[in-house]
């Protein structure tokens, strides 16, 4: 996060200096900006630095979206596993709480590795397994969209149970869609 702010502040500083110099050259400002920038090399360096940041056409730009379960809907395929499903993801993704609830288990299981189970306020119990990291402790409350873990590319185990019945894949997708719709 700090790097993003540092980058933004640097861009704004360079752009501001370039603007003030242009206004000085046009006679709009009397501020001697060129005297503040000690050498022409400083000015050239700042100008080239600013232009290199602004003229990056081929560089990929990371775009973030609102937090929530929407990314979980982008699985490549699914297969039945134990009481849930193994969902395949081509990229890593953060895992967020679908609703308000209570973390009832965090730990390592034989079949699903690093696993977190949350009982949500509506009575739904969701187990997220094969996580790469866990972000919540057991017996803590979570709010909708709180980060609960991270998953690198690969398989994520997801099991949803309500009223002692495990959801099938279609019901899991519907649940994910409904928790995504609740964000808006």
> Residue 153 CA to chain centroid, in angstroms?
14
| Residues in Cβ contact with 126 at an 8 Å cutoff, skipping those fewer than 6 apart | 98, 117, 118, 120, 158, 159, 160, 161
pLDDT in tens, 92-115: 899 999 899 999 999 999 999 999
Whether 150 shows a pLDDT value over 70: the answer reads: yes
Whether 184 shows a pLDDT value over 50: the answer reads: no
- Please tell me the distance from the alpha carbon of residue 76 to that of residue 66, in angstroms, as a whole number: 21
pLDDT in tens, 44-88: 665 666 555 555 555 554 444 444 567 777 788 889 988 999 999
Overall size of the chain counted in residues = 184
Burial class (CB in 10 A: 0-12, 13-18, 19+), 130: buried
Whether 161 shows a pLDDT value over 90: the answer reads: yes
- Please tell me the distance from the alpha carbon of residue 124 to that of residue 182, in angstroms, as a whole number: 15
60 SS3 class: coil
Residue entry with tokens 């094969």: 130
pLDDT in tens, 4-37: 555 666 667 667 777 767 777 777 766 565 555 5
- pLDDT greater at residue 180 or residue 66: 180
- pLDDT greater at residue 147 or residue 73: 147
- Please tell me the distance from the alpha carbon of residue 80 to that of residue 86, in angstroms, as a whole number: 6
Model confidence at 179, in pLDDT bands (50, 70, 90)?
Answer: confident
- Please tell me the distance from the alpha carbon of residue 130 to that of residue 135, in angstroms, as a whole number: 14
| Residues in Cβ contact with 122 at an 8 Å cutoff, skipping those fewer than 6 apart | 99, 162
- Please tell me the distance from the alpha carbon of residue 129 to that of residue 103, in angstroms, as a whole number: 13
H-only helix segments in the chain:
2-25, 33-36, 40-54, 169-181
Model confidence at 168, in pLDDT bands (50, 70, 90)?
Answer: very high
Whether 159 shows a pLDDT value over 50: the answer reads: yes
């Amino acid at each position: 996060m700090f790097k993003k702010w540092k980058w933004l502040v640097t861009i704004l500083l360079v752009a501001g200096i370039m603007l003030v110099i242009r206004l000085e050259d046009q006679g709009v400002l009397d501020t001697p900006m060129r005297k503040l920038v000690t050498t022409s090399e400083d000015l050239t360096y700042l100008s080239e630095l600013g232009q290199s940041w602004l003229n990056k056409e081929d560089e990929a730009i990371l775009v973030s979206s609102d937090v929530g379960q929407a990314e979980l809907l982008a699985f490549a395929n699914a297969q039945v596993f134990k009481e849930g499903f193994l969902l395949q993801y081509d990229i890593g993704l953060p895992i967020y709480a679908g609703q308000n609830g209570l973390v009832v288990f965090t730990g390592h299981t034989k079949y699903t590795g690093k696993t977190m189970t949350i009982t949500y306020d509506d009575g739904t119990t969701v187990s997220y397994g094969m996580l790469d990291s866990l972000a919540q402790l057991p017996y803590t409350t979570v709010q909708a969209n709180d980060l609960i873990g991270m998953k690198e590319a690969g398989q994520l185990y997801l099991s949803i149970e309500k009223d002692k019945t495990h959801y099938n894949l279609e019901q899991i997708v519907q649940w994910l869609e409904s928790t995504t719709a609740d964000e808006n």
